Amino acid sequence: MGALALCLVFIQMVGPSFEAKPSAGSQIGEIAGEIKRAAWRSFLGLPKPEPESAPVNLWNYIAMAAPIMGVIAVVLSLISGVLRENWRYPVYGTSFGVAAIVFHYFWWVALLIAGVVILVTIIENLGDIFSF
């Protein structure tokens, strides 16, 4: 279970990169354009548009399943240790389960930091966005 959780974490990291996406420049341009439209709507007192629901895909389920399976691996390895099975099995299960949880956590922290860096860059260049 722990090895499967660790594999799911790695699949979650690599998998979305295989999907077809627009270039980074066009994505950043869309974000900047959305910031500009929101600022003008707020400035002019227009109502906010209805939020669009995000499509649910396979990667959302993998992101939830990986740490849950890591916790299950730790619990199962504790049960294995209490039942006095070979000492290697609880150690392996705990190691893989904790590794899956830690890798998953640090992956999301890295994505959060990258997102903040992109937003700070956009906000620093906000004057260029509003120039006519």
Per-residue pLDDT tens over the stretch 76-115:
888 888 888 888 888 888 888 888 888 888 988 998 999 9
pLDDT tens for 110-125 read: 989 999 998 888 788 7
Please answer whether residues 96 and 73 qualify as being in contact, where contact means their C-beta atoms are separated by less than 8 angstroms. Answer: yes
| Residue 27 is assigned to a structural domain of this protein | no
pTM score? 0.61
Domain span at residue 100 reads 1-12+59-132
pLDDT tens for 38-70 read: 888 888 887 877 777 777 777 778 778 888 888
How many angstroms separate the CA atoms of 1 and 67, rounded?
Answer: 11
| Residue 106 is assigned to a structural domain of this protein | yes
How does 56-84 read in b/e, with b if 16+ C-beta sit within 10 Å? Answer: eeeeeeebebbbebbbbbbebbeebeeee
| Residue 82 is assigned to a structural domain of this protein | yes
Tell me the average pLDDT of the chain: 82
Q: How does DSSP classify residue 23?
A: -
| Residue 29 is assigned to a structural domain of this protein | no
